[in-house]
Structure 1
Amino acid sequence: MTVIAGGIMIAFGALAAGLGNGILFSRYLEGIARQPEARGTLFGQAMIALGLVEALPIISIAFGLLVLFGVIGG
């Protein structure tokens, strides 16, 4: 059962990262298309948001690996 739980956590972590990054950068490119002069500001904000978007999937994958290899959950 822990193998299934670990696999699900890793899979959802990867799925969340892909969806989050896709939405983030589609909005980033849309913002550049609307206001090209704000490119530098938008890039900085996109990188900060990228760090926030990536935090949850990385934590999810770490806990999934811990569960998968039996460190947590017996």
Structure 2
Amino acid sequence: MLHAPTDRLDQIKDLLPGAEDPTVMPLSQDKTRVAIHLVSSENLFWETMEQLKELGASSILVLPIEKMME
């Protein structure tokens, strides 16, 4: 999960291909940013952390997944 500028959304999605398309939700007090929720490979995520920050990502939260149902 992370917050990102709306104008960088496509670039961030390209960096983090996930199991499915990410969930993108507007922030309640900031119309220029969105919250992004996605499932991504752990190795891929850590490799792209600096690029995400350069694109304006913030409030980055990494959570473990116990199980994933398809």
Calculate the TM-score normalised by the size of structure 1: 0.28
**Larger relative CO (CA 8 A, sep 6+): 1 or 2?**
1
The answer to which structure has the higher strand fraction is 2
Please give the TM-score of this superposition, normalised by the length of structure 2: 0.29
Structure ranking higher in helix proportion: 1
